[in-house]
Amino acid sequence: MQMKKLSTLACAAAFATLSGAASAQISDNTVKVGVLTDMSGTYSDLAGAGAVLATEMAIADFIAEAKPAFKVEMVSADHQNKADIASNKAREWFEREGVDTATELVTTSTALAVMKVAKEMNRVALMSGPASTPITNEQCNDVTVHYTYDTYALANGTAKAVTQQGGDTWFFLTADYAFGQALEKDSSAVVIANGGKVLGSVRHPFPAADFSSFLLQAQASGAKIIGLANAGADTTNAIKQAAEFGITPKQSLAGLLMFISDVHSLGLQATQGMYLTTGFYWDLDDDTRAWSKRFFEKQKRMPTMVQAGQYSSVLHYLRAVQATGTDEAGKVMAHMKATPIKDFFGKNGRIREDGRMVHDMYLAQVKTPAESKYPWDYYNIRQTIPAEEAFQPLAQSRCPLVKK
C-alpha cells in the first residue's frame, strides 16, 4: 500500500473543512484499524472482546462526530500472547490488508515485537494493554504511543501507598517475562525510596495455574507484603490460593496490576481493603458513567482501564487522520502529539515526545461488601495522582527521541 503525496492547500482553514479533498490523501480512501489482543488466554477478560467492542464504539462515535468522507474499518485477531504470532499478523495486516494502525497489544512481548514491524512499515502502533516502561525508554520509536498505564505509574501508586502505611517489608511473586520483571523492578525502587525493604522474590512461569511452591517461599520470607507482579488470571489464581493456604490474612497481598474484572471475579469478600492503581474507573464521574453504561449494554460487564484506554486511543488517532487529511504515520503522529486529548478517559492528557500518553492516575481501595451499594460499586478512590507525577519524568527517560 503506497501513500499518495500531500498536495499543498492555500488556506489552512479550507484544509480543515474540505473533507472531500482531505480524503483524497488517504490510501484507498479507507482507514483500517487492527485490534491485536488476547482473545482466549490470561488477559482476555481485561482486554479481549471488550477491547474489540471499545474499538467499534470509538469508530462509530468518530463517524457520528466527524462525518468523514473516508471509510473506517476494523479487523481483529488473537495474538495468543505470543510475540511471533503478533509480529507475523501485524506484518500481514500492513503488507496485504491495508491496515493503518495496530492497536491494543496487551502483553509486553507482543507489543515490543509489533513496535518493530510498525516502525519498519511506517504504521502507527497504539498500545493500551502492555505495561513495561521499556516501550517508552530503550525500545521507544516515533510511531508508537503507550497510552493507558505503565509499570512506573503502578508502582508510584500502589507500592508507595502500601509502604507508607506500614507495609515496609516485601516479597515479590513475579511473572517471568518482561512485564513482570519491569513491575518488580519499578515497585522495588519505590519501596526502598519510601523506607521499606525487599526481602526477596520468586519468578513463576507465564501463564501459571499452580502457585503453591511460590506462595510458600513468600510465606517463609516473613514479609508483611507479598507483591503480585503479575496480572489477569495469574493474579486472581495467586490471590485464591493464598487464601486457601492460609497465607492471608497473616500476610497481606498487594496486587500491583489489578483490574476491575479481577475484583469482580474474586468478589469483594476476597479483595476488600486491597489497594490498586488504575487509569480509569467507570463510576468516577458523569462522563465515565455515561460511556461505561453504553459499554455495559453490549458487554454485560463494566470496562477495564485497558478497554477504556483503547477507545480513547483509537478516537484520538481517527481525529488526527481527519485533521491532517492523511493516514501517513509521521504526520498523524505529529498531530496526535501536538493535540491535547479531550474525552472521558484522557482528560487533560497529552502524548509526550517519548510516546508516553500522560494523564491522571488513581489510587483506589477495594470496598468492603457492606460499603458496596449497587452492582460494580467496587472502589473508593483514595487519591488522584496528577499526570506529571504519575509517570516517569522525561528527565529520567532513556528514549533516544527525548532531547536532553
Task: List residues bridging with 358 in a β-sheet.
Answer: 350
Per CATH, 19-149+285-358 and 152-278 having the same topology is answered yes
C-alpha cell at 265: 471475579
Please state the rounded mean pLDDT for residues 240-267: 94
Task: Identify which of 135, 130, 83, 84 has the alpha carbon closest to the alpha carbon of residue 104.
Answer: 130
CATH of domain 152-278: 3.40.50.2300
Q: What is the pTM of this model?
A: 0.91
Position with higher pLDDT, 16 vs 245: 245
pLDDT of residue 403: 84
Report whether pLDDT(213) > 80.
yes
The topology under which CATH files domain 19-149+285-358 is Rossmann fold (3.40.50)
Q: Give me the residue spans of the domains in the chain.
A: 19-149+285-358, 152-278
- Report, in angstroms and rounded to the nearest whole number, the Rg of the chain calculated over CA atoms: 21
End-to-end CA distance of the chain: 36
Task: Identify which of 216, 183, 351, 360 has the alpha carbon closest to the alpha carbon of residue 288.
Answer: 360
Confidence of residue 346 (pLDDT cuts 50, 70, 90): confident
Residue with C-alpha cell 501463564?
A: 207
Q: Please give the Cα distance from 18 to 22 (Å, whole number).
A: 6
Confidence of residue 404 (pLDDT cuts 50, 70, 90): low
- Identify whether the C-beta of residue 203 lies closer than 8 Å to the C-beta of residue 232: no
Report whether pLDDT(6) > 60.
no
Tally the residues of the chain.
404
Query: pLDDT digits over 49-108, tens only?
Result: 999 999 999 999 999 999 999 999 999 999 999 999 999 999 999 999 999 999 999 999
pLDDT of residue 363: 94
Count CB-CB contacts under 10 A for residue 309.
28
Position with higher pLDDT, 25 vs 168: 168
Residue with C-alpha cell 499543498?
A: 8
Q: Please give the Cα distance from 144 to 225 (Å, whole number).
A: 35
Task: Identify which of 153, 192, 142 has the alpha carbon closest to the alpha carbon of residue 172.
Answer: 192
Query: pLDDT digits over 295-339, tens only?
Result: 999 999 999 999 999 999 999 999 999 999 999 999 999 999 999
Q: What is the DSSP letter of 367?
A: P
Query: pLDDT digits over 363-393, tens only?
Result: 999 999 999 999 999 999 999 999 999 999 9
Q: Measured between alpha carbons, how far is residue 387 from residues 88, 132, 250, 279, 358 in Å?
A: 35, 18, 35, 10, 5
The values of phi and psi at residue 228, to 5°, are: -90, 100
Residue with C-alpha cell 520509536?
A: 141
- Helix pair 305-324, 48-66: axis angle to 10 deg: 30
pLDDT of residue 348: 80
Q: Please give the Cα distance from 110 to 200 (Å, whole number).
A: 28
Q: Please give the Cα distance from 8 to 27 (Å, whole number).
A: 17
Amino acid at 397: S
